[in-house]
Amino acid sequence: MLELRNITKRFGEVLANDQINIKVEAGTIHAIVGENGAGKSTAMRIAYGFYTADSGEILIDNQVCQIATPHDAIARGVGMVHQHFMLVAPMTVAENIVLGAEPGSQVSLDLAKAASEIRKLSEEFKLAVDPNAVVENLSVGQQQRVELLKALYRHAQLLILDEPTAVLTPQEVEEFFAILRRMRQQGKTVVIITHKLSEVLAISDEVTVMRDGRVVGRLQTKETNAAELARLMVGREVLLRVDKPEAKIGATKLKVSDLSVTTKDGSSRVDKVSFEVRAGEIVGIAGVEGNGQTELIEALSGLVESSQISGAIKFEGKDITRLGARLRRELGIAHIPEDRHRRGLLLEFDLAENSILGVHYRKPVVAYAGDIFLDNAAIRRRANEIIEAFDVRPANPDLPARSLSGGNQQKLIIGREFDLHPKLLLVSQPTRGVDIGAIEFIHRKLVALRDAGCAVLLVSAELEEVTSLSDRLLIIHKGRIVGEVDPKTATNEEIGLMMTGGH
Amino acid sequence: MKLISELIFPLIAVLAAFVVGGILVLIVGDSPIQTYKLLLGSALSWPDGIGYTLFNATPLIFTGLAVLVGFRCGLFNIGCEGQLYVAAFATAWVGITYASLSAWLLLPLCFLAAVFAGALWAAIPGVLKARFGSHEVINTIMLNFIAVALVGYFTQYHYRIPGDPIMQTSTIGPGAHIARLGKFVPGLPERIPLNLAFVFALIACVLVYLFLWRTKWGYEIRATGSNPTAAEYGGISIRKQIVLAMAVSGALAGMVGINEVLGYRYRYYDGFSAHYGFFGIAVALLGRNHPVGVLLSALLFGMLIRGGIFVDAFTNNITKDLVDVLQGVIILFVAAEAFFRGPISRYGLLRRSKV
Amino acid sequence: MREIFTVSLIWSSTRLATPLVLAALGGMFSERSGVVNIALEGIMLAGAFSAAAVTYAVGNPWVGLLAGIGAGLLIAAIHALACIRYKANQVVSGTAINILMVGVPGFLSGAFFLSSGSTPQLPKEQLIPNTPIVIAALMVPLTWYVLYRTPFGLRLRSVGENPEAADAAGVSVERIRYTGVLLSGVLAGIGGAYLSIGQSSLFTRNMTSGRGFIALAALIFGKWRPVQTMLACLLFGFTEAVSIQMQGVVKLPSGADIPVQFISMVPYILTIVVLAGFIGHSRPPRAIGLPYQKER
φ/ψ (deg, to 5) at C56: -65, -40
Contact partners for chain C, using 3 or more CB pairs closer than 8 A, are A, B
B contact residues 282-301, partner C, Cβ 8 Å cutoff: 282, 285
Closest Cα in chain B to C104 = B325
What torsion, rounded to 10 degrees, do the Cα atoms A447, A449, A452, A457 define? -90
Residues A67, A58 contacting (CB under 8 angstroms)? yes
**Highest mean pLDDT: which range of A22-36, A70-84, C60-74:** C60-74
Chain A contact set for B215 (CB, 8 A)? 372-374
Q: Summarize the confidence of residues A9-36 as an average pLDDT.
A: 87
Instruction: Indicate if the pLDDT at residue A309 is higher than 50.
Output: yes
Q: Which residue has the higher pLDDT, A131 or B354?
A: A131
pLDDT at B352: 36
Q: Residue A340 — very low, low, confident or very high, per pLDDT cuts 50/70/90?
A: confident
User: Using one digit for the tens of pLDDT, what is the confidence trace for B204-227?
Assistant: 999 999 999 999 999 999 999 999
Query: In a mutagenesis test of the B interface, which of A305, A335, A372 is the best target, namely the one with the most B β-carbons within 10 Å?
Result: A372
Q: Are B229 and A343 in contact (CB < 8 Å)?
A: yes
Chain A CB within 8 Å of residue C161 CB? yes
Closest Cα in chain A to B219 = A360
Q: Summarize the confidence of residues A282-292 as an average pLDDT.
A: 86
User: Using one digit for the tens of pLDDT, what is the confidence trace for C73-132?
Assistant: 999 999 999 999 998 889 889 999 999 998 999 999 888 888 878 899 999 989 998 999
Q: Are C91 and B78 in contact (CB < 8 Å)?
A: yes
pLDDT at A241: 60
SS (HEC) of A166-233: CCCCHHHHHHHHHHHHHHHHCCCEEEEEECCHHHHHHHCCEEEEEECCEEEEEEEHHHCCHHHHHHHH
Least confident of A229-233, B163-167, B278-282, C250-254: C250-254
SS (HEC) of chain C: CHHHCCHHHHHHHHHHHHHHHHHHHHHHHHHHCCCCCCCHHHHHHHHHHHHHHHHHHHCCHHHHHHHHHHHHHHHHHHHHHHHHHCCCCHHHHHHHHHHHHHHHHHHHHHHHCCCCCCCCCCCHHHCCCCHHHHHHHHHHHHHHHHHHHCHHHHHHHHHHHCHHHHHHCCCCHHHHHHHHHHHHHHHHHHHHHHHHHHHCCCCCCCCCCCHHHHHHHHHHHCCCCHHHHHHHHHHHHHHHHHHHHHCCCCECCCCCECCHHHHHHHHHHHHHHHHCCCCCCCCCCCCCCCCCCCCC
A87's torsion region: left (phi>0), alpha (psi -120 to 50) or beta? beta
pLDDT above 70: percentage of residues in chain C: 92
Q: Which helix (H) or strand (E) holds A18?
A: strand A14-24
- pLDDT, chain B, mean: 88
Query: SS3 helix, strand, coil % of chain A, rounded to 5?
Result: 35, 25, 40
User: Using one digit for the tens of pLDDT, what is the confidence trace for C173-215?
Assistant: 999 999 999 999 999 999 999 999 999 999 998 899 889 999 9
pLDDT at B167: 85
Instruction: Indicate if the pLDDT at residue B355 is higher than 50.
Output: no
Closest Cα in chain C to A85 = C165
Q: Summarize the confidence of residues A425-429 as an average pLDDT.
A: 93
CA distances from A214 to A198, A211, A217, A367 (A): 22, 5, 9, 51
Contact partners for chain A, using 3 or more CB pairs closer than 8 A, are B, C
The pTM is what?
Answer: 0.87
Q: Are B214 and A374 in contact (CB < 8 Å)?
A: yes
Chain B contact set for C251 (CB, 8 A)? none
How close B348 gets to chain A, by Cα (Å)? 16
Q: Are A102 and C158 in contact (CB < 8 Å)?
A: no
Q: Summarize the confidence of residues B134-162 as an average pLDDT.
A: 89
Residues A206, A25 contacting (CB under 8 angstroms)? yes
pLDDT above 90: percentage of residues in chain C: 62
Instruction: Indicate if the pLDDT at residue A455 is higher than 50.
Output: yes
pLDDT at A402: 85
pLDDT above 70: percentage of residues in chain A: 96
pLDDT at C187: 97
Q: Residue A461 — very low, low, confident or very high, per pLDDT cuts 50/70/90?
A: confident
pLDDT at C209: 86
pLDDT at B351: 37
Interface of A with C (CB under 8 A): 11, 48, 50-52, 69-71, 73-75, 80, 82, 85-91, 95-96, 98-102, 104, 106-109, 150, 154
User: Using one digit for the tens of pLDDT, what is the confidence trace for C24-41?
Assistant: 999 999 999 999 999 999
pLDDT above 70: percentage of residues in chain B: 95
**Highest mean pLDDT: which range of A122-131, A281-290, A420-429:** A420-429
Q: Which helix (H) or strand (E) holds A335?
A: strand A333-336
pLDDT at C201: 93
pLDDT at A467: 86
Nearest to C279 by CA among C239, C238, C223: C223
User: Could you tell me which residues come within 8 angstroms of residue B126 by beta carbon, excluding any fewer than 6 positions away?
Assistant: B75, B136, B242, B243, B244, B245, B246, B247
Q: Are C149 and A101 in contact (CB < 8 Å)?
A: no
CA distances from C266 to B86, B165, C199, C261 (A): 18, 27, 22, 9
Residues B214, A366 contacting (CB under 8 angstroms)? no
pLDDT above 90: percentage of residues in chain B: 54
Residue B10: alpha-carbon gap to chain centroid: 17
CA distances from B145 to A233, C209, C242, C258 (A): 63, 10, 18, 18
Strand partners, A282: A456
- pLDDT, chain A, mean: 87
Q: Are A346 and B216 in contact (CB < 8 Å)?
A: no
Residues C153, C11 contacting (CB under 8 angstroms)? no
How close C243 gets to chain A, by Cα (Å)? 40
Neighbouring CB atoms inside 10 A of C203's CB total 31
Instruction: Indicate if the pLDDT at residue B294 is higher than 80.
Output: yes
User: Using one digit for the tens of pLDDT, what is the confidence trace for B235-258?
Assistant: 999 999 999 999 999 999 999 999
Instruction: Indicate if the pLDDT at residue A346 is higher than 80.
Output: yes
Instruction: Indicate if the pLDDT at residue B347 is higher than 50.
Output: no
Chain B contact set for A302 (CB, 8 A)? 235
Chain B CB within 8 Å of residue A337 CB? yes
Q: Residue C270 — very low, low, confident or very high, per pLDDT cuts 50/70/90?
A: confident
Nearest to B57 by CA among B326, B328, B298, B309: B298
pLDDT above 90: percentage of residues in chain A: 45
pLDDT at A235: 64
Residue C49: alpha-carbon gap to chain centroid: 15
Q: Residue B102 — very low, low, confident or very high, per pLDDT cuts 50/70/90?
A: confident
Task: With H, G, I as helix, E, B as strand and everything else as coil, classify residue A53.
Answer: coil
Q: Residue C280 — very low, low, confident or very high, per pLDDT cuts 50/70/90?
A: low
How close B340 gets to chain C, by Cα (Å)? 9
pLDDT at A99: 93
How close A395 gets to chain C, by Cα (Å)? 25
Q: Are C275 and B325 in contact (CB < 8 Å)?
A: no
Least confident of A169-178, A235-244, A345-354: A235-244
Q: Residue B348 — very low, low, confident or very high, per pLDDT cuts 50/70/90?
A: very low
Q: Which residue has the higher pLDDT, A231 or A337?
A: A337
Q: Summarize the confidence of residues B34-50 as an average pLDDT.
A: 88
